[in-house]
Amino acid sequence: MTPSTDRNQELFERARRLIPGGVNSPVRAFKAVGGTPRFVARAQGAYFWDANGKRHIDYIGSWGPMILGHGHPAVVEAVQKAVLEGFSYGAPTEREVELAEEIVSLVPSMDMVRLVSSGTEAAMSAIRLARGATGRSKLIKFEGCYHGHADALLVKAGSGLATFGNPTSAGVPAEVVQHTLVLEYNNVAQLDEAFALHGKDIACLMIEPIAGNMNFVRASVPFMRRCRELCTQHGALLVFDEVMTGFRVALGGAQSLYAKAIPGFKPDLSVLGKVIGGGMPLAAFGGPRAIMEQLAPQGPVYQAGTLSGNPVATACGLATLKEIRKAGFFDALAAKTATLVAGLKAAASAESIPFSTDCEGGMFGFFLLPQLPQNYSQVMQTESALFNRLFHGLLDRGIYIAPALYEAGFVSSAHSEADLAETISAAKEVFQALSSRA
C-alpha cells in the first residue's frame, strides 16, 4: 500500500496539524516504537479494524476497560436505552446509586464511594481527601507507578530519602511536588527509612498493587504487608490505585488477592476506573464511612464534577459489572490469559530469546529479560530496540499490543481459543525472524 492510499498515514498527518503530536493521549502516537499509529474505524468482540480496513486482534482493549470485548450485546443494549432517556442531567439519578451499591458490595474495604469521570480525577481527589482527613501534607508514591497526570504526581525520585521529588513534566513547579516522596517499588528497607524520617508528616502512601505502567510488576506480599504495617503505625492512609487492576485481575480487585495472603488486609482508600465504566469515562474512589464523610457537602474536603455519575456511563458500567459477576467468568478469563502468556514464552524460548512473563485475571505483561523485574530500574534494562521489532512484527501480522514496553496488556472474555492460537503463531514467526537477525 502506497503512502497516498494509507488512510492511517493520511489521518495522522491531518491530526498532527491540529492536535499536538497528532493524538489526544501521548502513548497513542507510537513515538516509542516508531511508525504510524492505527486509527480505529470500528471494533467488535476481540477485534478492531483500522482506517485501511485491516483487522487486528486487540490486546489493549482501550487500556483495560473492555473486559467483555467491544460491543458486548448486553452493554450496548443498556447504553442505547440510557441514551434515549438523556445524556446528562447535572442532578442525581437512581442509576448512580445502583452503581455505588454494586461497587461497595464487591469491594469490602469500601463503605462509601464517590463517582468521578477519570482515573486522574479519582487519584487526585483521593490524595486531597487523605490530606484533609489526616491534616498532613506529605505523600509517598513509587517510581514506575502512574496515578494520572495531576501535578503532584508527575514526579521522579529526589537525590535521597531526606529529599523530595523533582518534576518530570514542564509546567509543574518544584514547590508543587515538594511534599511528594518517590521510593523504589518493592524496596522494604527504603520504605522503613522513609517512614522513620517522615512518618509523622505523611498523609498517605499511594501504590499500584500491580504496576501496569511498568508493564506488569507485582508488589511482593512482604512489601505490601510492610506498607500496611507502617501506614497503620504512623497514622497514614494506604491508598490503592486500582484504576487498572480493579475488577480486572479479580472480581474484588488486587486487594482481594493480598487479603488472601495477609490476614485482615485492606487499604484505607481505593481508586477505581476503567472496567467500572465499561469503556465510558467513569472512575471512583472510596473507603470507610468515617473518611469518606470528610467530603463535601458533608465535610470540609471539596470535590465536584459536572459529569460525575453520568447516566450513560453508569448504565455502561452497571451492565459490565453484571456480566463479570457471573459464575466462572474470572476463572475462564484467567485461563485464557495464562494460555496466551505460556504460548508467548514458549515461542520466545524456542528461539533462545530472553523472555519472562506474568499475569493475573485478564491482565498480563512480558519482558525481554530472563527474569521478572521487581522495580522500575530493572524494567528499564529491557532492550527497547528489540521490543520495537517485536511490536511491529506482531502489528504487521494483525496483533495489536501496547506500543511501549512499559504497558501491560489485556485479554477479554471475547478472545477465542482461535484468537490466542493465531497470536501465538504470529509470535513464533516474529521470534524466529528476530533470532535470525541476531
Catalytic residues, by residue number, are 146, 241, 274
b/e 33-70 (16+ beta carbons within 10 angstroms → b)? bebbbbbbeebebbbbebbeebebbbbbbbbbbbbbbb
CB atoms within 10 A of CB 261: 12
DSSP secondary structure string for all residues of 390-432: HHHHHHHTTEE--SSTT--EE--TT--HHHHHHHHHHHHHHHH
**Count of residues for the chain?**
438
Please check whether residue 403 is in contact with residue 30, taking contact to mean a CB–CB distance below 8 angstroms: yes
Please check whether residue 238 is in contact with residue 228, taking contact to mean a CB–CB distance below 8 angstroms: yes
Closest CA to 219 of 357, 373, 69: 373
Cα gap 417→414, rounded to integer Å: 10
Q: Let me know how many helices (H) and strands (E) the chain has, helices first.
A: 13, 18
Q: Radius of gyration over alpha carbons of the chain, in Å? A: 22
Cα gap 364→172, rounded to integer Å: 32
Query: How far from each other are the two terminal CA atoms of the chain, in whole angstroms?
Result: 29
Q: 116: part of which helix (H) or strand (E)?
A: strand 112-116
Cα gap 410→423, rounded to integer Å: 13
